[in-house]
Structure 1
C-alpha cells in the first residue's frame, strides 16, 4: 500500500487561478491527485503580485508571503533585502501553518530560499529536492546585471551553499548538470539527476483556425510564426525582428504574445522599421493562448547570444503540445538545439545573430507542409513520452 506523504512546495511562481496554471501548479495538482498532502509556500517576489494570505485553492493549501511595500524598491539594495528577509518571514509563516513535512520541493533561484532546506530538515526531519532551472549569479552576470566581481562571488557562494544543502538536485538537461558540476565542484555529483520539464498531458481538440485568427485580427491565409512568452533582454528578440525584415511584404507574419520589459521597445522598433508583418498581442489566459498558438504554423524560441548557461526553454512545451514545429535562435552553449534537432527531431536551431541561417530554416518550413507536420508530430510524441508531470513526480518522489 502506497504511503501518503506531506509535501511542501516552495516557489516564487504559482498561479492563484487554475486557468493560468504554471509548472509549479501542475506539480502540486499531480501530487495532490496521487494522494499526498500538499502545501505551497509562494513568495510574492514582485511588487504587483498578491498580498499575503493562506487559503485552499483547487484543493491545495497555498501560503502566500509578501513583504511590506518598502522592500520592493528597485535596485541592488531592495533585492538584497528581499533575499534575506523573505526566508526569515517564511520560517515564521511555516511554523504557524505547516504541521508536518516529509519532503520539501523548491526551485531555483536559490538565493530566494536561503537556509530553508536546513530549516525543514531540522524542524520536520524532511528530505529536500531542488528543481534547478537556472543559475542565478551566472544568469545576471551574462546579462550585465552583475558587473562587480565581489557581488558575483558573494551570490555564487550563497548559491553553492544552497546546492549543498539539498538531498537531491534535478537538472533539466545533461548540459545543465555538467554546468553545475563544473562551476560548483563542491556539490556532490551523486546528488544530481536529470529532471525534464513537465506538463499535464492532455489531448488537443481541433480548433477552427480561421475563427481564432479572425478573433485576434490575424491574417487568414498568412504563414504565421509565433513567439509566446516573456519579452526581456534574456530573449534578444531583435533577432526575430531582423528576420521579419527579410519577409517584409510577403505572406509571412510574425506574432508576439506576452509582456515584458522589452515589449514597448520592440513595438516601437517594429513600427519605426515599418514592419506591417509583425503583430503584438498582450497577455492572454493559458487556455486561449493554446488556441492562438494552435492557429499558427511554427513556434519561435529566442535566447540571447550572451548566455553561458545551458537551458531547456519552457515555451517549447507549448509548441510540442499542439504539434507545432520549432525554430530556435539560441545562445552558443546550450544543448537544447542538439536535443531539438537530433533527439526529438521537432525543428531547427541556429546560433543567435545568424539571421541568414534562421531565414534558410524558416524558408524550408514555409515551403514544406509535410515536413512541418512531421516535425510537429515528433515534438508531440516526445512531449507525451518524456515531459509528463507524472514522470517528474515519480522522479522527485523517489528521493524519499
Structure 2
C-alpha cells in the first residue's frame, strides 16, 4: 500500500529515532511504500527537496517559514501558509502516486484541504494522530482570547479537520474524553486511544559509560541526578522548574540537568547566569545520540506542564525516560492523565505544577530510596513494552485498511 504522512516534524533520515520515524519504519518494514511530507524551515536555508531512501521511503522536505521555536507572528503565518506549500510540492513531486492511506498529525490543524483532495482522488482512508488540541491550548496559556475572531477562525479549521478524518487516534483516555465532550458531533466509534509510541531498543549502558558521560558534562557521580530534556517552551510551565531548583539549591544529595531548545531558553539561561546554582546545569539542545547518552547517565526524568491547561497533554519525552528505566517525576495541570497513569502503574510520581512542598516531597522520596528508583524504572520499562510500541500503533491503523 502507498502511505502518505503529513507532519510538522522535520525528517531527513528515516533511520533517526522518534515517534514518527519509528512508525514510518514500521510501515516500511511491513512492505508499504511510504511518502513523508515535512517542513524544511527557512532557518535551514535549503530549498524544497525530494529524496528516496532504501527504495520504498520517499521524503519530501518542503521549504516553509519557521513553524516551531519561533515568534508568534511567524508561527501563525507559517501555520496558515503550510497547507498550500505542501499541496504545491505534492502536485509537483508525487502527483503520480495513488494513496491508500493518508496519515497526519497535529499540529497543525490546517491540512484539511490536502486530506480532502487525496480522499476524493484516491479513495484513501484518513487517520489523524491527535498530538495537540489547538486552539484551546493557546487559550489556556493566554496566547489567544477565547471566542475572539482568531480563536473562532482556527476552531472552525479544527472542526473541519476532525470531520474529514475517518479515524482519530488520541494519546490517552483523557484525550478521548475531552475530544468527544467538546465535539459532540464526532461519532465515538471514530475516536480511539493510539498513544505516542516508539520502537524500543534493548540498550546496554554500562556503569563505565554512565560515568564517562557524566564526566564529559561535569555532572557529579555521587548525586541523584534529575534531568529535564526537550522543548523549553511556554506550554511546559518552566517557571516552576526554576522555583524547584532554587528551593533545592542547598541540597547536596541532588543535581539538576536542563537540556533543550525553545522560546523559554533565554529566560532559563538568564536565571542560571544570575543565580549560578552549584547543583544544576543548563545545556543547549544536543544531537539525538548525544542526548540519549546524557539521559541514560541520569537517574530520574522530569516532566512539567503549565498548570492552566484544560486540555490533557501527554508529552512524548515520557517514552525515552521509560526506555532507559528511569522513574518519572511530574508537575502538571490537573486535567492530563499522564500523572495518574504513571502512579497507578508504579513508574512515576505526580504533583500539581505550583505545589512546591508537594513536589519537593517527591524529590526527597526518590533521593532517599535508591531501591525505589530502580524498582520504578523497571516497572516503567515493562509498561513501555506492553503499551507504547509502534507495532501496536501500526496495527491499530492497519485494521481499518484491512477492513476497507
User: Same fold by TM-score, threshold 0.5 exceeded?
Assistant: yes
1:65 aligns with 2:62: yes
Partner of 1:212: 213
Runs of at least 4 residues off by over 6 Å? none
Q: How do 1:57-206 residues align onto structure 2 when only pairs under 5 Å count? A: 57=53, 59=55, 60-67=57-64, 75-76=72-73, 78-79=74-75, 81-96=77-92, 97-98=94-95, 99-147=97-145, 149-206=148-205
1:317 to 311, 316, 319: 319
TM-score normalised by the chain length of structure 2: 0.92
Q: How do 1:243-392 residues align onto structure 2 when only pairs under 5 Å count? A: 243-249=244-250, 250-342=252-344, 344-392=345-393
Number of aligned residues: 392
Whole-angstrom CA distance in 2 between matches of 1:297 and 1:113 = 40
Whole-angstrom CA distance in 1 between matches of 2:192 and 2:38 = 25
Whole-angstrom CA distance in 2 between matches of 1:217 and 1:265 = 23
CA contact (8 A) 2:79 2:108 kept: no
Please state whether the residue corresponding to 2:231 is helix, strand or coil: coil
Cα deviation digits, residues 78-126 of structure 1 (max 9, x gap): 5555444322232232234141100000001242313122111111111
Whole-angstrom CA distance in 2 between matches of 1:142 and 1:170 = 22
| Unaligned runs of at least 5 residues, structure 2 | none
Judged with a 3 Å threshold, the aligned counterparts in structure 2 of structure 1 residues 291 and 89 are, in CA distance, closer, same or farther, namely: closer
CA contact (8 A) 1:14 1:25 kept: no
Please state whether the residue corresponding to 1:115 is helix, strand or coil: helix
Judged with a 3 Å threshold, the aligned counterparts in structure 2 of structure 1 residues 126 and 224 are, in CA distance, closer, same or farther, namely: same
Shift of 1:55: 0.5
Shift of 1:273: 2.8
Whole-angstrom CA distance in 2 between matches of 1:68 and 1:273 = 36
Shift of 1:22: 2.4
TM-score normalised by the chain length of structure 1: 0.93
Whole-angstrom CA distance in 2 between matches of 1:86 and 1:240 = 34
CA contact (8 A) 2:100 2:122 kept: yes
CA contact (8 A) 2:326 2:373 kept: yes
CA contact (8 A) 2:261 2:285 kept: yes
Judged with a 3 Å threshold, the aligned counterparts in structure 2 of structure 1 residues 188 and 222 are, in CA distance, closer, same or farther, namely: same
Q: CA RMSD in A?
A: 2.0
1:224 aligns with 2:225: yes
Please state whether the residue corresponding to 1:170 is helix, strand or coil: strand
Shift of 1:20: 4.5
Cα deviation digits, residues 237-261 of structure 1 (max 9, x gap): 2212212222223131110111111
Cα deviation digits, residues 1-25 of structure 1 (max 9, x gap): xxxx111111110321456432111
Shift of 1:75: 4.8
Shift of 1:47: 4.2
CA contact (8 A) 1:19 1:285 kept: no
Judged with a 3 Å threshold, the aligned counterparts in structure 2 of structure 1 residues 213 and 273 are, in CA distance, closer, same or farther, namely: same
Shift of 1:31: 0.4
| Unaligned runs of at least 5 residues, structure 1 | none
